[in-house]
Amino acid sequence: MTLHAPPPLERPLDILTGDGGDVELREGDRLLASARAARFDAPDVPRVSYEAAAEAVGRTPYDEQTHNLPTCFVCGPARAQGDGLRIFAGPLQTASILGRPVVFAAAWVPHGSLSCEDGYVAPEFVWAALDCPTGYCSVGARHLGLNGDETALLGRMAAWIDRRPRPGDRCVVAAWPTGREGRKLFAESALLSSEQDVLAIARTTWLLVDRQVQFGIRP
């Protein structure tokens, strides 16, 4: 899925499906997002224990005072329990060695409100859980010339779900940067079970932007 423009709220939008299965989200003639089926592998998924991920949460770089968007549905610290995912990724204690990136991780127990009719966490919330941690690890990638104060927006994301957890399951979200190309930052993430089995993976592209752009204000 590629985001082309900020989707507006509380306005009717059109979802168009092409002959090849490609999907577009539009507001009239304006293209907001496009999507197509994709499958990929992430062979180097780090296995992170629930205990190590819980410790990493204590090292998350943002709180309600320093978070650019404290009410973010995924990682906003101003969200109440059950009102957002409250996934606060932080770096693992293992520091970057020989230029290797630091893995960010968070412990996560899905809330009951995230369940769909089959009793498992709905796919859209699995996608959401895999999203923000890749932004955290991207702007935290010192070996890529970043200092952690940058502002970034998600530009593209691909995800593949093997299994979905149930609400109440102890899960781990791990994310790690994979590269940079100018203002494009690349990262991957994985959702792990408490036994460190890979449940889902994602690949993202983030764009470094001006702070005002994050609020939808064009410079």
**Can you list the alpha helix ranges (DSSP code H) found in 58-178?**
123-139
**Is residue 162 over pLDDT 80?**
yes
Distance between CA atoms of residues 17 and 33, nearest Å: 12
124 or 147, which is more confident? 124
pLDDT in tens, 174-216: 999 999 999 999 999 999 999 999 999 999 999 998 876 656 6
Q: In 10 A of CB 106, how many CB atoms?
A: 26
Residue 126 neighbours by CB under 8 Å, 6+ apart: 159, 161, 164, 165, 191, 199, 200
User: CA separation (Å) from 219 to 8, 161, 214, 215?
Assistant: 19, 37, 11, 11
Cβ(191)–Cβ(45) below 8 Å: no
Q: What is this structure's pTM?
A: 0.90
pLDDT of residue 210: 81
Q: Per-residue pLDDT averaged across 78-102, rounded?
A: 79
List phi, psi (to 5°) of 12: -65, 135
